[in-house]
């Protein structure tokens, strides 16, 4: 018959066992991230470039992390609605933001007030991709070239309008009007797809849109591209002149971009896991090919590189807003 151990020894063993189990549980929960679906909040609606990009990435990412990846579209207020929503979300790694340029442009002076700080309220995860903007008109409009459009607009001050469905569309439309000396009416939309529908219906005359959203309409011959916002011509549509060739001086080359951010306080393990898996997805040849077909270039990065890029872009938008005298909305 074995002799009972003194209570103090039993208590010590029990405490050691509990401590060991708790430590293993903590390690297990870290290793298991994610253990439920991850939600990526998109600041534009279905059919937008943001939506297309994320749906191309979501399926292989879900397979890589072993959990569903949900794309949650929350358009409105030049992306501020989605951005503020994620800023206030639980910082557990299960709600992240696929932000655009607007995350830094809005607080730089595009919006009169925002309820977030891009540097204090978010942790950078990785850059995602970039694209260019194109100036388009409906195919049944009479203008075949940028020169013809500008000539008509100057001869009919205040008679033409331009739509925008995102920050770039608004900025480039304003820059074109100021640089070319045009008097036009701005018609803003929450997202680019409805703006394109109004363009096709003839209720708006022109718009700058990200190439990714318009590529299908361009290839179908429904809209006509007159100008690419980049310094070089787009490989997808090499017949479309670039800003550098247009003769318009002073229009900045501010390409559209997407990057992934989480709420401040998001666990380092979650940031590193998402960065690692998304980078691997964006480096796959088949994923890059699908994105390039839409005029989107994959640009994954480290978290630190995104932090530096965010600061650089914030400063660039402060300069741009000051240079063109853009008034906050």
Same domain, 223 and 160: yes
- Tokens of residue 319, six digits: 């300069």
pLDDT at 12: 43
Q: Which domain holds residue 203?
A: 133-246
Give how far Cα 194 sits from Cα of 189, 266, 282, 329, Å: 7, 35, 28, 20
Residue among 53, 54, 166 at smallest CA distance from 101: 166
> Is 16 a domain residue?
no
Looking at 200, 229, 246, the residue that finishes a domain is 246
Residue among 156, 206, 145, 163 at smallest CA distance from 182: 156
Same domain, 148 and 242: yes
- Tokens of residue 135, six digits: 């100036």
pLDDT at 23: 43
Same domain, 233 and 262: no
Instruction: Write out the chain's pLDDT in tens, 329 residues.
Output: 444 444 444 444 454 444 444 444 444 444 589 999 999 999 999 988 999 999 999 999 999 999 999 999 999 998 999 999 999 999 999 999 999 999 999 999 999 999 999 999 999 999 999 999 999 999 999 999 999 999 999 999 999 999 999 888 999 999 999 999 999 999 999 889 999 999 999 999 999 999 989 999 999 999 999 999 988 898 899 999 998 898 888 788 888 999 999 999 999 999 999 999 999 999 999 999 999 999 999 999 999 999 999 999 999 999 988 888 887 87
Looking at 221, 246, 271, the residue that finishes a domain is 246
Q: In this structure, what are the phi and psi dihedrals at residue 218, rounded to the nearest 5 degrees?
A: -65, -45
For the question of whether the overall pTM of this predicted structure is more than 0.85, the answer is no
CB 308 within 8 A of CB 301: no
> Is 109 a domain residue?
yes
> Is 12 a domain residue?
no
The rounded distance, in Å, linking the Cα atoms of 269 and 92 is 10
Task: Identify any residues that bridge with 137 across adjacent strands, giving them in sequence order.
Answer: 224
The rounded distance, in Å, linking the Cα atoms of 322 and 298 is 30
Same domain, 160 and 202: yes
Same domain, 58 and 140: no
CB 52 within 8 A of CB 294: yes
> Is 95 a domain residue?
yes
pLDDT at 247: 85
CB 100 within 8 A of CB 43: yes
Same domain, 150 and 283: no
> Is 27 a domain residue?
no
Looking at 217, 246, 275, the residue that finishes a domain is 246
> Is 316 a domain residue?
yes
pLDDT at 328: 80
The rounded distance, in Å, linking the Cα atoms of 300 and 329 is 32
According to DSSP, residue 242 is labeled: B
Same domain, 137 and 231: yes
Task: Identify any residues that bridge with 181 across adjacent strands, giving them in sequence order.
Answer: none
How many independent structural domains does the chain possess?
A: 2
End-to-end CA distance of the chain: 85
CB 131 within 8 A of CB 297: yes
Helix axes 167-180, 146-155, angle to 10 degrees: 70
CATH number at residue 109: 3.40.190.150
Same domain, 215 and 262: no
Same domain, 305 and 209: no
């Amino acid at each position: 018959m074995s002799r009972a151990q003194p209570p103090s020894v039993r208590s010590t063993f029990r405490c050691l066992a509990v401590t060991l189990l708790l430590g293993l549980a903590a390690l297990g929960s870290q290793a298991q991230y994610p253990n439920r679906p991850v939600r990526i909040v998109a600041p534009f609606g279905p059919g937008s470039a943001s939506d297309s990009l994320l749906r191309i990435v979501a399926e292989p990412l879900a397979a890589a992390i072993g959990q569903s990846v949900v794309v949650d579209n929350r358009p409105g207020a030049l992306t501020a609605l989605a951005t503020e929503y994620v800023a206030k979300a639980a910082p557990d790694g299960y709600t992240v933001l696929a932000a655009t340029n607007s995350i830094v442009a809005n607080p730089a002076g595009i919006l009169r007030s925002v309820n977030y700080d891009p540097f204090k309220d978010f942790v950078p995860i990785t850059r995602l991709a970039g694209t260019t903007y194109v100036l388009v008109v409906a195919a049944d409009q009479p203008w075949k070239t940028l020169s013809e459009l500008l000539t008509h607009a100057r001869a009919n001050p205040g008679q033409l309008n331009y739509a925008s469905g995102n920050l770039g569309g608004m900025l480039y439309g304003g820059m074109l009007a100021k640089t070319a000396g045009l008097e036009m009416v701005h018609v803003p939309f929450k997202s680019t797809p409805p703006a394109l529908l109004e363009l096709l219906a003839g209720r708006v005359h022109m718009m700058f849109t990200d190439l990714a959203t318009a590529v299908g309409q361009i290839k179908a011959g429904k809209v006509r591209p007159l100008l690419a916002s980049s310094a070089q011509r787009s490989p997808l549509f090499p017949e479309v002149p670039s800003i550098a060739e247009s003769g318009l001086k002073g229009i900045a080359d501010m390409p559209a971009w997407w990057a992934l951010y989480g709420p401040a306080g998001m666990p380092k393990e979650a940031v590193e896991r998402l960065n690692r898996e998304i980078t691997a997805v964006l480096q796959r040849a088949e994923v890059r090919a699908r994105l390039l077909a839409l005029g989107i270039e994959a640009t994954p990065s480290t978290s630190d590189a995104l932090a530096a890029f965010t600061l650089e872009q914030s400063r660039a938008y402060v300069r741009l807003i000051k240079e063109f005298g853009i008034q906050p909305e």
